[in-house]
A and B are shown apart, each in its own frame.
Chain A
């Protein structure tokens, strides 16, 4: 960058992105967002009672219990969040102490996140279990099940938003310190979530390629991708103008070290490939292309978290500015 050769103080420490949260946190943010997003879409399908095909393998027998798989392909989101949550624990210095955070829910967003995710996982898995367990005493047709479903839905929304709030709450990183980040992660959660539901329903035959339900689902997914693109543009343009570090972060993403993550990972895999391939698959009525588009979009969702995480540059400390002034004065004299 041009500033680096002119201002050695700036080049030394100034544009170095944070090194504390790395890939493990990106995986956590991704799985939590995608799992929550897919559950939101899945429960909406469940509520709107879109007509679903009978599965080719409608049930399996486990320990003599007949498990009904009819709703499994649309309600598996909590499993993804359950897989993602341990990644946050894996990143801790002393892993078993994560319990301390659970015991202090009002202290910070990290602690609140433990609670939000835990409630979502418990209620989400409960809804999933109800969908496949055959026990009559569960009264699966009872209207009372709407209560845990609504709770799981609300906490799924909370989980998708929380992945952005966690970064926003750190305050010292201008790239993250914006309300647009939770919105961006929510939009991404919904687009990756709806695409994962498309893949799972198409793969299991729950929805056929030409069914009305699939058309609605694909239209919804495309709207989510467009909204995500608009929010990403607003996010980057606003952060570019927010502060010098915000500008450096955006530069790092677009033209700096992370340009491959941004252009190939986020833009190409996350936006261009899926949109183009979905359009071609519609034209040729080819579901295989839709699978490739889906995998591409899901990969792009991961790169979005990775890029945002790695591009976080901290605010300039006041002393840094003082040093810059002193250096400039030395040069003048």
Chain B
């Protein structure tokens, strides 16, 4: 199966944190953003909001450091990296290892949790009113930016030709 990824358009995000809410409801049944797998990082002074989700990295540090193989890759399911809560011992090594500040320690379940793409239908994508988060094929993730860059280049070439 082709790999799909979550793409965040930070320019569109308003910082409403609805994604956090629906994520926690979907995964835990509680509307508690502190148990969400997505976190909106806010820089209020600068007016910048950035929803942070797991990148399911190709070379995932969390998989490398997990002592029980609880954190593993599932190539058959969008090549996602998931944590098996039945194997997780709650050592939090993956949290320290992840450069994106990702897996979170669920204080109630006493294990580490992370984004699992909601089994192929990410709720953060479905409920984001401004469409700041999208779930697209990995090879098309940068398509919009590539188109924009190509258009700019075409304009420059036109100008150069006179």
Contact = CB atoms under 8 A, between A and B. Distances in A.
A24 to B, nearest CB: 12
A110 B92 contact: no
B113 to A, nearest CB: 11
Nearest to A20: B92
Interface in A72-110: 91-94, 97-98, 100-101, 103-104, 107-110
A327 B48 CA distance: 8
Interface string A7-29: 01100110000101100000000
Interface residues of B, number: 36
A110 B99 CA distance: 19
A21 B96 contact: yes
B141 interface: no
A217 interface: no
Interface stretch (B23-31, B38-46, B126-134): B38-46
Contacts of B45: 8, 12
B156 interface: no
A62 interface: no
Contacts of A144: none
Interface residues of A, number: 38
A20 B43 contact: no
B89 A92 contact: yes
Specify which of B50, B68, B95, B100 lies most central, judged by the most chain A CB atoms within 10 Å of its CB.
Answer: B68
A171 B97 contact: yes
B67 A170 contact: no
A126 interface: no
Q: Interface majority SS on B: helix, strand, loop or mixed?
A: loop
Given A108-B66, A319-B50, A94 B111 contact: yes
B43 A108 contact: no
Which of B43, B90, B105, B112 is packed against the most chain A CB atoms within 10 Å? B43
A50 B112 CA distance: 51
Contacts of A242: none
A315 interface: yes
Contact of A92 (B43, B65, B91, B96): B91
A330 interface: yes
Contacts of A101: 67-68, 89, 91
Closest 8 CB pairs of A and B: A93-B90, A93-B110, A110-B67, A111-B67, A97-B89, A101-B67, A100-B68, A8-B45
10 contacts: A93-B112, A94-B90, A100-B87, A104-B69, A109-B65, A114-B67, A171-B64, A172-B97, A319-B52, A323-B46
